[in-house]
Structure 1
Amino acid sequence: MLYTFPDDLMQAQLDWYAVYHQLAGAEHESQTTVLRRTLQRLSVRISTHPYWASLPGSVPAARMELKQAAWQAVHEKTGPRARA
């Protein structure tokens, strides 16, 4: 890992994956509306986090590393059956 992500940013990405997983299994339209709104709020929180302004290099590369690190953490916690 080339980057050290703030805890709140990593947690927001982990939450994003958890909500996405819930959305994939949602059965009722009322559930999907709430979950989609939650995903939107998390996406905004992640993309506008002040951490990105502090990077001297490529933000897209750092963003992908954040996704990969969070996905790996989710996978280790829930096992190989987890999908986002």
Structure 2
Amino acid sequence: MDSLRFPDGLVRAQQAWNDTYDALAVPNPRHPTVLRQRLLRLSVFLHTHPFWSTTPGGVPAARVELRRQARAVAQQRGKRSA
């Protein structure tokens, strides 16, 4: 699965989903309703993206790889700003 190339928009959406989830995970998050709505919209976008209809090797493994790649990009982004 390492060689799977995801569309940039799909990776950015997964990163936004991760960031939104993290914002909701803190005690007493600010604007929880807005965050929940955003999480739902991103979930629908990620789930229904046309990329999944062309994925070789099975969708579940590819979804795990998408989450892994999104976390890796976010970690690199954090290292650059540090």
Assess same fold via TM > 0.5.
yes
Residues 29-83 of structure 1, C-alpha deviations (whole Å, 9 max, x = no match)? x71111011001101100100000012321100000000000111122225xxxx
Q: 1:19 to 1:26 in 2, by over 3 A?
A: farther
Partner Cα separation in structure 2 for residue 47 and residue 3 of structure 1: 17
Note the residue ranges of structure 1 that are not aligned, 5 or more in a row: 80-84
Percent identity between the two aligned chains: 42
2:31 match: secondary structure: helix
Q: CA RMSD for the aligned pairs?
A: 1.7
1:44 and 2:44 are equivalent in the alignment:
yes
Q: How many Å separate the matches in 1 of 2:56 and 2:76?
A: 30
TM-score normalised to the size of structure 2?
A: 0.83
Residue by residue over 1:5-52, the C-alpha shift from the partner in whole angstroms, topping out at 9 and shown as x without a partner, is 011111100111111122223635x71111011001101100100000
3-state secondary structure, aligned to 1:56: coil
Aligned to 2:59: 59
Task: Determine if contact 1:26/1:32 at 8 Å carries over to the other structure.
Answer: no
Name the residue aligned to 2:16: 15
Please, which runs of 5 or more residues in structure 2 have no aligned partner?
Answer: none
Give the Å deviation of 1:2. 2.1
What TM-score do you get using the length of structure 1 for normalisation?
0.81
**Distance in 1 between the 2:57 and 2:77 partners?**
30
2: CA distance between counterparts of 1:12 and 1:32? 19
